Amino acid sequence: MTAELGMARLETTEVWARLNPVLKEILTLAFRTDGDVTAAVRITHPHFSAQRAEAVAVSMLASADVQAVLLLQSGAVVLSTTPEPGTLEHLFLRPEFRTLEPLKIRLHADDISDAGEILDLQQVLRFYFTVARDDLRAAIGMCRPDWDQPSVAEAAKAVYENEKVRRIFALRRGAE
């Protein structure tokens, strides 16, 4: 059962996805039996001679992707569930991002805002880094489609001037 769970997790990796279907079949068989790749080649390709099966196994084992799969399967290398530094997932899990509080701003451009409009900075920045493609005005417009363009521009200025938001931008550029 544990081998099946390990195989299921292995099959979700990028290195496994790069392997061609024949290599996957041979390695799966090798993992489910005694781990002998040559024997797995002989089973999947019964028309191969013993020497040819051994040569195929040796060439398979020389592949960097196959070596990576073998390391993962053996447990010598463990998959991490934490996102890679520099990725958006890593940024969104940082305490600086998770503790961003909504920004209360007074918009003068629309002449109808009361003491303050509330803008969810986390939502704005998620849009900014993903669908808005680094366009702060577009991100704010997605969060608040009811605002006119001058209001969006004023909100973008207020967001950009926020010190905590500047810290998030610096983290995204790679500053620690």
pLDDT at 159: 93
Q: CA–CA distance from 50 to each of 16, 22, 73 (Å)?
A: 27, 18, 25
pLDDT at 113: 52
Question: Across the 176 residues of the chain, what is the mean pLDDT of every consecutive 10-residue run?
Answer: 61 83 89 86 91 90 86 71 74 87 76 71 90 89 90 92 92 76
Q: Look up the pTM and report it.
A: 0.53
Helix (H) or strand (E) holding 31: helix 21-32
Strand partners, 103: 119
pLDDT at 5: 46
| 25 Cβ contact partners less than 8 Å away, ≥ 6 residues apart | 44
Q: Could you list the beta-strand ranges (E) of the chain.
A: 103-105, 117-119
CA distance 87 to 150: 32
109 phi/psi in degrees, rounded to 5: -65, -30
CA distance 65 to 85: 23
Q: CA–CA distance from 143 to each of 46, 75, 103, 119, 169 (Å)?
A: 61, 45, 13, 8, 19
Secondary structure letter of residue 106 according to DSSP: -
pLDDT at 107: 75
Strand partners, 119: 103
